[in-house]
Each structure stands twice: as C-alpha cells, then as structure tokens.
Amino acid sequence: MHRFQKWRDALHIAPDARAVEGVMKDYVRTLSPEVLAVLPADCRSGMDAVPIDIPAVAVCLLQFELRFRGEPESGAMLHDVAHIFALAATRLTLTQREALGVL
C-alpha cells in the first residue's frame, strides 16, 4: 500500500532519534492527498508540527483506526499509516533509551 516494508526497514536502521524523526518527516511528505483525506484533522495537524510528535500522532491514528467504519480501502490506508507511526514511536523510544544507556 504505502511501501510499508521500505519505511519499516528505514526505521529499523535509524541509529538515533534525529534519524527516526527524519524518516517520518520524509514519510509524511509521501502521503497522497487521498490518504491524508482519510485521516482525522487532529492527527494531520500533529504530522505538520515541527518536530512531529511521533508518539502522539501514533496514538491518535491507532485510536481512530479502532473507531473507523468507512470503506475497506480507506481502512487499509489508515492501517498502514497508523502502524508506520506506531513503529516509529517504538523505535524512537528505543533510540532514546539506547542514548541514555538504559537498555
């Protein structure tokens, strides 16, 4: 759908929080108007923030996905975007812990 594997791989090799944020900034730029139209306004506004509040957008998208009752194709797009953000939030946490020597 949205080259999930490409973005997943990019997030997995991101060495630090700055790299994760850069990947997500690039990812958001690739989202088509059709995909963005499926997403709620509060999630889209979080994507426009500088820097992107990755964990907040992930939660927003996942909550919206749970309530979503639209067309299956739109649901699939939403699912992909929500799960890329969820992965990014997880990777961001891991890189921050690594930087602090917590892991």
pLDDT value at 5 more than 70: yes
pTM: 0.91
- Residue 1 is predicted with a pLDDT of 46
Which pLDDT band, with edges at 50, 70 and 90, does 100 fall under? Answer: confident
Which range (11-15, 25-29, 39-43, 93-97) has the least confidence?
A: 93-97
pLDDT value at 103 more than 90: no
* Per-residue pLDDT reduced to its tens digit, 25-76: 999 999 999 999 999 999 999 999 999 999 999 999 999 999 999 999 999 9
> How many residues belong to the chain?
103
